[in-house]
């Protein structure tokens, strides 16, 4: 079955949980998106029911997005679309409960809030159905950005001209902690939530 037909069928079953134009954000192409990804996106959204912004699906890159196997999302509280993003612990728990092969949470994304019209920090989530081979799967990770001093980067630093770099922390299947070998640092999930609290403090 091709992707266009798969999407039409999903809309008939579940309603238009994701429209063609939402999937087409930033040059996205429904026909290059794998039917199995569309199906998993629809089933998951139907299960959790949280308002969801798609920030990228297929895009012209080498990797899981370029293979039509990945989606990037921001989830909001019910009744709070583009106003109240889910807390990262909630986002992580939901996203890792559903059968995805790859789940990566980012603490350095931003969105324009509909109440004040300003850009705010938000957790964002990458989800994919890649089966491994070229990229190790299953895989879980969390990422955030540091400034040139190695401190947590503020939203202003991320948006501005200052030098910043995103670091990835991969979850161990053994102790559940998140590791960055280059930095030689490890975080438990609750330590990552402290990082999130700290980020919100320094953004103010």
Which lies closer to Zn ion via its Cβ, residue 34 or residue 154? 34
Cα-Cα-Cα-Cα dihedral sign, residues 195, 197, 199, 201? negative
Contact yes or no for 76/82 (Cβ under 8 A): yes
Which lies closer to Zn ion via its Cβ, residue 51 or residue 124? 124
What count of Cα atoms within 13 Å lies in the side-chain half-sphere of residue 79?
Answer: 0
The one among 44, 69, 72, 157 contacting Zn ion by CB under 5 A: 72
Name the minimum Å distance from CB 23 to Zn ion. Answer: 14
Site size for Zn ion (CB under 5 A): 3
| Stretch of 37-45, 66-74, 76-84, 105-113 contacting Zn ion, by CB under 5 A | 66-74
Strands 70-75 and 52-56: antiparallel
Name the minimum Å distance from CB 13 to Zn ion. Answer: 25
Q: Is 130 in the site for Zn ion (CB under 5 A)?
A: no
Q: Is 44 in the site for Zn ion (CB under 5 A)?
A: no
Name the minimum Å distance from CB 106 to Zn ion. Answer: 9
Nearest residue to Zn ion by CB is 126
Which lies closer to Zn ion via its Cβ, residue 105 or residue 155? 105
Contact yes or no for 17/45 (Cβ under 8 A): yes
Name the minimum Å distance from CB 104 to Zn ion. Answer: 7
Contact yes or no for 102/70 (Cβ under 8 A): yes
Structure tokens at 178: 């998140």
Q: Is 126 in the site for Zn ion (CB under 5 A)?
A: yes
Contact yes or no for 102/130 (Cβ under 8 A): yes
Q: Which of 54, 55, 152, 53 is nearest to 108 (CA)?
A: 152
| Cα–Cα distance measured from residue 123 to residue 33, given in angstroms and rounded to the nearest whole number | 24
Name the minimum Å distance from CB 151 to Zn ion. Answer: 26
Sites of contact with Zn ion (CB under 5 A): 70, 72, 126
């Amino acid at each position: 079955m091709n992707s266009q037909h798969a999407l039409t069928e999903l809309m008939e079953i579940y309603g238009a949980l994701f429209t063609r134009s939402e999937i087409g954000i930033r040059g996205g192409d429904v026909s290059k998106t794998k039917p199995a990804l569309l199906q998993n996106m629809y089933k998951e959204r139907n299960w959790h029911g949280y308002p969801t912004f798609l920030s990228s699906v297929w895009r012209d890159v080498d990797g899981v997005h370029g293979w039509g196997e990945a989606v990037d999302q921001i989830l909001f509280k019910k009744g709070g679309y583009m106003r109240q993003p889910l807390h990262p612990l909630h986002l992580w728990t939901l996203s890792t409960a559903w059968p995805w092969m790859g789940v990566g949470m980012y603490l350095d994304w931003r969105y324009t809030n509909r109440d004040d019209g300003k850009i705010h920090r938000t957790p964002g989530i990458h989800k994919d159905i890649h089966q491994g081979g070229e990229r190790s799967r299953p895989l879980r990770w969390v990422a955030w950005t540091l400034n040139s001093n190695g401190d947590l980067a503020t939203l202003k630093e991320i948006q501005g001209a200052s030098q910043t770099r995103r670091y990835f922390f991969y979850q161990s299947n053994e102790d559940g902690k998140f590791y960055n070998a280059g930095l030689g640092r490890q975080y438990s999930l609750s330590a990552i939530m402290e990082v999130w609290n700290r980020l919100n403090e320094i953004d103010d």
